Amino acid sequence: MKNKAPRKKRAAVPAEAVAGAEQSAPDLGAEAHRFSQTRSARSAEILEDYTELIADLMEEHGEARITDIARCLGVTHPTAAKAVARLKREGLVTSRPYRGVFLTEAGAAMAERVRVRHRIVIEFLKAIGVPAEIAAVDAEGIEHYVSDATLAAFSDFVRSAPEV
Amino acid sequence: MKNKAPRKKRAAVPAEAVAGAEQSAPDLGAEAHRFSQTRSARSAEILEDYTELIADLMEEHGEARITDIARCLGVTHPTAAKAVARLKREGLVTSRPYRGVFLTEAGAAMAERVRVRHRIVIEFLKAIGVPAEIAAVDAEGIEHYVSDATLAAFSDFVRSAPEV
DNA sequence: ACAAAGATGTAGCCTTGGCTTCATTTCACT
DNA sequence: AGTGAAATGAAGCCAAGGCTACATCTTTGT
Ligand SMILES: [Mn+2]
Ligand SMILES: [Mn+2]
Ligand SMILES: [Mn+2]
Ligand SMILES: [Mn+2]
């Protein structure tokens, strides 16, 4: 006796229902497309946090050291070092052995974009009544998943509702 | 000639400045704590999406098949199968070879929480003026990073601002 | 009944992001 | 100038989440 469970007809989800199937291309369905977008945002998340943090450290202390980066992020130094190696490979930072980490133009540009986003998200959360400490935590995650349209909506809201 | 770069004093970031250092415990600084929280949210992200999707498929078609899950998420079936194995390990679903996937009580509970959050985030984004399709994409990522406090703020906002 | 097609499983590869442990380099201070 | 502590690097482990390729089971239809 094995596998006696009743089995409905196959193709419970007709391919066409889920696949937008409008034209050519790999054409994932709308559903799948949504998740794909989120996945790619997720893979950029760490790069964004690092560039932002490096910019902050440079501004505050004139340099960004692996140890400081690691401490700020709450990870061990080898983890930070490995991430920096990836940033380097992707052309976002430069570094030489035993010296600090420096943003390239591309890295600085990313940092600036991320900082703006971060600020807007935090201000927005506070504006709708989220306590500052909680807003700080939530913004750290949310910031990587807001599209330009959503960011604009956030920013408009903050401007139009100065006080509560 | 090597490593001639000027080097500032060490301890650019005095440990106390970054470590909350109020009491005992591993006591990461506030900064580090923020990122830790986000990291743990990130690791739950996939579990949440799977349980939610499984619940949706069961509701719509009476069953959740690996293939359908994979297609909806836009991943290959081995990827979905591996994720289901993890869900199983974590006690969120059950499954038998060549049969579908079923939520356990814990899984169903998670799915329900996630669905509520998803709905609120989407309604909220639309309420502040984000176009529906964009809101759908952004919500897919944001939903995993909203605390209860933020969710409450979102929900309050939607209730108090029915039309625009 | 059976064969083709579709669904599922299995194995194995890659990258990322964590970690520990140990070696090496630099720096600050005596 | 010398030395000990701190910072950095390097090696290697693990889990997660992607993938491809191939094997096996189930269903559907003839
Ligand atoms: Mn962040
Ligand atoms: Mn940030
Ligand atoms: Mn999601
Ligand atoms: Mn969702």
B62 assigned to some structural domain: yes
Q: Which residue of B has its CA nearest to A72?
A: B32
Sequential pLDDT tens for chain A (164 residues): 334 444 445 555 554 444 333 333 456 688 899 999 999 999 999 999 999 999 999 999 999 999 999 999 999 999 999 999 999 999 999 999 999 999 999 999 999 999 999 999 999 999 999 999 999 999 999 999 999 999 999 999 999 986 65
Where are the alpha helices (H) located in A7-147, listed in sequence order? 15-18, 30-61, 66-73, 77-89, 105-127, 132-142
pLDDT band at B30 (very low <50, low <70, confident <90, very high): confident
CB contact under 8 A, B32 and A72: yes
Query: Structural domain tally of chain A?
Result: 1
- Chain D bases near protein CB atoms (7 A cut-off): 6-12, 16-21, 25-28
Residue A17 has a pLDDT of: 45
> Do the Cβ atoms of A74 and B36 come closer than 8 Å?
yes
Query: Can you give the CATH number for the domain in which A124 is found?
Result: 1.10.10.10
B11 assigned to some structural domain: no
Alpha-carbon gap, residue A118 to A112, rounded angstroms: 10
A82 assigned to some structural domain: yes
User: At A47, which amino acid appears?
Assistant: L
B137 assigned to some structural domain: yes
A133 assigned to some structural domain: yes
From the centroid of its chain, how far is CA A83?
15
For residue B57, pLDDT beyond 60:
yes
Residues of A in contact with B138 (CB under 8 A): 145-147, 150
A102 forms beta bridges with: A94
What is the residue range of A73's domain? 34-160
A72 assigned to some structural domain: yes
A6 assigned to some structural domain: no
B87 assigned to some structural domain: yes
Residue B29 has a pLDDT of: 81
Query: Is residue A34 classed exposed, middle or buried when 0-12, 13-18 and 19+ CB atoms within 10 A define those classes?
Result: buried
B81 CA to D21 C1' in angstroms comes to 16
In this predicted structure, which of B13-17, B18-22, B73-77, B115-119 has the lowest mean pLDDT?
B18-22
- A window 2-41: Cβ near strand C (< 7 A): 10-11
For residue B69, pLDDT beyond 50:
yes
